[in-house]
């Protein structure tokens, strides 16, 4: 079964499908800034904010997928009793909306790349409370490269890192939404660490774990929306560093096993799915191999002091195809 491509993808989905177009399009999305209770990996309930589509509460916000040249119109409703901002990192796109109000705005897709959209108010408190999501811009007419001249991939993933301090949510529950303006960012004491809104072992599913046959490179778009440094460490293969905060590099790319990311950082890497060079005895391309990606920032693995390994951790499976595949089969020459 193929994943259906679309402009709006649930925030928990990491495996991205994209059907390119030969022409630019006008796209639209309805978002609501809302608060609600989110259940953590150990059953604890945390009050969070979120940019959501539809009913309920979820975080991160939906991933917005488009291509260069597109125009995106956002209908943003704010149900919170505090002002909200929609800002696209590394761009001038920034729209505030008053408490319990709504606005509509449009912007042109920035250059091909990976962007964090978020609320930039209150020294990061609003973003860390959950008001964030990813914007992925593909090159026009291309489905298997991140930008013109970039490396070719077979699959692409979004890994959005975030963290939660339930004490912040409890304070907002007690004192009201406006209290986010009084929270000291240095009081942040995160207990939960997620990728695409999930902690391990809920990341052990095809939408987040990296999976592919040998020789099928995966492109991984990593964003840090949280309040701490993350350092995803890849086992099995080193990753090739392609983009660091919108600066593109040329092949041959530097190889890294751990990738440091400060809050708001964005990294784009290739996981090459080569037979592990250090394995002994040597691994054949017929073997299914399991490896971890775990964050090297210790507290993200030992959340709460007793939840190990329920932190920022995701499996890597070599020699096996995901049960659902993105649609990368269309040729640009055949596009409408």
Per-residue DSSP letter, 230: B
Question: What's the sign of the alpha-carbon dihedral 229, 230, 233, 234?
Answer: negative
CB atoms near residue 56 (< 10 Å)? 10
Distance CA 233, CA 293 (A): 5
Residue 8 has pLDDT above 80, yes or no: yes
pLDDT tens-digit series, residues 168-205:
999 999 999 999 999 999 999 999 999 999 998 899 98
CB burial of residue 131 (10 Å; 0-12, 13-18, 19+):
buried
pLDDT tens-digit series, residues 257-306:
999 999 999 999 999 999 988 777 888 878 999 999 999 887 776 665 55
- 114 touches 134 (CB < 8 A): yes
pLDDT tens-digit series, residues 117-168:
999 999 999 999 999 999 999 999 888 999 999 999 999 999 999 999 999 9
Give this prediction's pTM. 0.95
C-alpha angle 20-219-287 in degrees, rounded to nearest 5: 120
Model pLDDT, residue 206: 86
Query: Residue 147 contacts by C-beta under 8 Å, 6 or more apart in sequence?
Result: 111, 112, 113, 139, 248
Residue 325 has pLDDT above 80, yes or no: no
Query: Given pLDDT bands bounded at 50, 70 and 90, which one contains residue 207?
Result: confident
Model pLDDT, residue 7: 82
CB atoms near residue 182 (< 10 Å)? 11
Mean pLDDT rounded to a whole number for the chain: 91
**What's the rounded mean pLDDT across residues 315-325?**
90
Distance CA 266, CA 85 (A): 20
Query: Given pLDDT bands bounded at 50, 70 and 90, which one contains residue 2?
Result: low
């Amino acid at each position: 079964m193929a994943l259906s491509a679309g402009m709006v993808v649930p925030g928990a989905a990491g495996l991205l499908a994209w059907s390119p177009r030969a022409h630019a399009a006008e796209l639209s999305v309805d978002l609501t800034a809302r608060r609600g209770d989110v259940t953590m990996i150990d059953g604890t309930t945390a009050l969070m904010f979120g940019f959501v589509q539809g009913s309920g509460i979820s975080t991160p916000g939906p991933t917005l997928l488009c291509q260069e040249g597109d125009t995106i119109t956002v209908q943003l409703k704010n149900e919170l009793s505090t002002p909200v901002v929609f800002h696209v990192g590394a761009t001038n796109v920034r729209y505030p909306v008053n408490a319990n109000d709504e606005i509509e705005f449009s912007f042109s897709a920035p250059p091909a790349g990976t962007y964090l959209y978020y609320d930039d108010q209150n020294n990061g408190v609003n973003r860390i409370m959950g008001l964030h999501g990813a914007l992925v811009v593909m090159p026009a007419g291309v489905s298997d490269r991140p930008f013109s001249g970039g490396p070719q991939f077979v699959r692409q993933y979004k890994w959005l890192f975030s963290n939660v301090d339930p004490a912040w949510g409890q304070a907002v529950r007690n004192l009201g939404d406006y209290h986010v303006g009084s929270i000291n960012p240095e009081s942040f004491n995160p207990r939960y660490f997620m990728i695409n809104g999930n902690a391990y072992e809920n990341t052990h599913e095809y939408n987040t774990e990296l999976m592919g046959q040998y020789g099928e490179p995966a492109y991984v778009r990593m964003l840090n929306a949280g309040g701490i440094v993350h350092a995803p460490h890849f086992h099995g293969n080193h990753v090739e560093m392609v983009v660091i905060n919108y600066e593109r590099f040329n092949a041959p790319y530097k190889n890294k096993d751990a990738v440091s990311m400060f809050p708001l950082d964005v990294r784009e890497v290739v996981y090459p799915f080569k037979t592990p060079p250090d394995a002994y005895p040597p691994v054949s391309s017929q073997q299914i191999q399991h490896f971890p990606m775990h964050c090297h920032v210790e507290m993200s693995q030992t959340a709460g002091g007793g939840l190990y390994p329920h932190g920022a951790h995701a499996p890597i499976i070599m020699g096996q195809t995901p049960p659902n595949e993105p649609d990368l089969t269309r040729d640009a020459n055949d596009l409408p």
